[in-house]
Chains A and B, each alone.
Chain A
């Protein structure tokens, strides 16, 4: 069975591009338009990995990670941040919230898949 990845980003194009890369690589993809939607999707599906943006309306990526980590089912699920932010302070904030890793946009498909392969159980 294909692994399912949740993509959370307020940019429709980014969601489509990431989704395109992942489906081409054989993953199942679920999309969320912001943190609130992403959290709801995570409750509806069994998610094996989460890819989230940082700055989003309603609920940011950091808040989403905190909420997911507070949920027993997602305590150990890999969560990668895919964001334009590359400042150390932001990274530390993500790490403290429980993120598994950090990928800087614009992403390279191969690099994204390699990083996912490293953390996917």
Chain B
């Protein structure tokens, strides 16, 4: 492609003078472009390196999270085992509790019956005391009657004495039995009180079961949080990866800047040494990337050519 640089109404000499004035600017422009390309490459490389380190750290984080989830899975199984064991033990304790409660109720019921029997015994003992008293009175009266009838009543007086002695013995025995009954009654009262107290202190297995269920739920929540964190970490790594790959624009930018620099160099040589005329088509030929070539062909500056292989495409020989 040739370029017509001659404006209307201007002399060639004047134009050549103006071009000669501008010539020193070309190497400066070229140097600026080269510096710019180097600058962009340096900084994109740094960003790329930083992204790489971030992705590495994120990957380590994901690995740690996954290891924790895996570990948590083992712990979960251990916790489940422990809870199952605790539940079995609780079930046994519950059975024992029920048996103990029933036994305590049975003992309390028997103690109540015993107390009633003791009360009945007290009534009987009172009756025995009354009988002993009646026997004593009978003996006293018999002795009086025996004295009334004189010598004939002597044998009867002997019987009356025996009756009095028997009455005394009966009263003494009744007294001892009453004391024993009182002691037994006191013991029964004490045992009844203690049994009632013990049956009220049975283990609260329902409360322990609730605590175990809470532990299981808390552990599952923790595992779920770890999984979510790991999943988000993986998404982060994927996003970083995508961002890093997106920085490939720099390679294209640098390449195009280099092409422009080469073209500037060629232009400078053509203008200063009077060499071959500057050919803009050479610059367009430098667009080696498929998309860039397609754009320039579409503009009609170059002859159509077969559709090039697209970016990222691979071909094996």
- The interface size bin for chain B is 35 or more
CA distance A106 to B310 in the complex (A): 9
Number of chain A residues whose Cβ lies closer than 8 Å to a Cβ of chain B? 36
Q: Mark A108-120, 1 if CB is under 8 A from B, else 0.
A: 1101101100110
**Chain A residue, CB-CB nearest to B52:** A20
Task: For A101, give its contact among B237, B306, B315 (CB under 8 Å).
Answer: B315
User: Is the CB of A46 closer than 8 A to any CB of chain B?
Assistant: no
Contact assessment for A16 and B45 in the assembled complex, using a CB-CB cutoff below 8 Å: yes
A16-38 interface with B by 8 A CB criterion = 16-17, 19-21, 24
- Do A84 and B255 have beta carbons less than 8 Å apart? yes
Instruction: Tally A-B pairs: CB < 8 A.
Output: 115
Most buried by B among A12, A86, A112: A86
- In the bound complex, do residue A11 and residue B48 qualify as a contact, i.e. CB atoms below 8 Å apart? no
- Please determine whether B311 and A109 come into contact, CB atoms closer than 8 angstroms: no
Of A13, A19, A80, A102, which is within 8 A of B44 by CB?
Answer: A13
Report whether B252 and A16 are in contact in the complex, using a CB–CB cutoff of 8 Å: no
Residue of A nearest to B307 (CB): A86
**B77: interface (CB < 8 Å):** no
Query: Which of B99-107, B243-251, B274-282 is near enough to bind chain A?
Result: B243-251
Q: Is A14 an interface residue (CB 8 A)?
A: yes
Q: Name the A residues within 8 Å of B45 (CB-CB).
A: 12-13, 16
Q: Is A41 an interface residue (CB 8 A)?
A: no
Q: Is A7 interfacial (CB-CB < 8 Å)? A: no
Contact residue among A16, A80, A104, A118 (Cβ-Cβ distance under 8 Å from B290): A104
A67 within 8 Å of B by Cβ?
A: no
Q: Which residue of A lies closest to B250 (CB)?
A: A13
The CA-CA distance from A111 to B310 in the complex, in Å, is 12
How far does the alpha carbon of A102 sit from the alpha carbon of B313 in the complex, in Å? Answer: 8
Closest to B246 in A: A106
Across the interface, do B317 and A106 meet the contact criterion of CB distance under 8 Å? no
- Contact indicator A21/B241 (Cβ below 8 Å): yes
Within residues 1 to 53 of chain B, which ones have a CB less than 8 A from any CB in chain A? 41-42, 44-45, 48-49, 51-52
Whether, in the assembled complex, A100 has its beta carbon less than 8 Å from a beta carbon of chain B, the answer is: yes
Q: B317 to A100, Cβ gap below 8 A?
A: yes
* Known A13-B44, A106-B251, A107-B248: A24·B317 in contact at CB below 8 Å: no
> Quick check: is A62 within 8 A (CB to CB) of the other chain?
no
Q: Given B247, B309, B313, B316, which contacts A13 in the complex, CB threshold below 8 Å?
A: B247
A8 at the B interface (CB under 8 A): no
Q: B254 within 8 Å of A by Cβ? A: yes
The complex places the Cα of A20 from the Cα of B241 at a distance, in Å, of 8
- Chain B residues with CB under 8 Å of A112's CB are 312, 314
Contact between chains at A109 and B241 (CB < 8 Å): yes
Contact of A86 with B316 at beta-carbon distance under 8 Å, contacts A17-B247, A21-B241, A106-B251 already known: no
Q: Is the CB of B241 within 8 A of A24?
A: yes
Query: Chain A interface (Cβ within 8 Å of chain B)?
Result: 11-14, 16-17, 19-21, 24, 80, 83-88, 91, 95, 99-109, 111-112, 114-115, 118-119
**10 pairs from A and B in contact (CB 8 Å cutoff):** A13-B250, A13-B251, A17-B244, A19-B52, A20-B48, A85-B288, A91-B315, A99-B317, A111-B312, A115-B314
Q: A102-B314, A104-B290 are in contact. List 12 more A-B contacts (CB 8 A).
A: A12-B41, A13-B247, A14-B251, A16-B49, A17-B248, A83-B288, A85-B288, A86-B309, A101-B315, A104-B310, A106-B312, A108-B245
The 6 closest A-B pairs by CB, nearest first: A106-B248, A108-B312, A101-B316, A115-B314, A86-B308, A12-B45
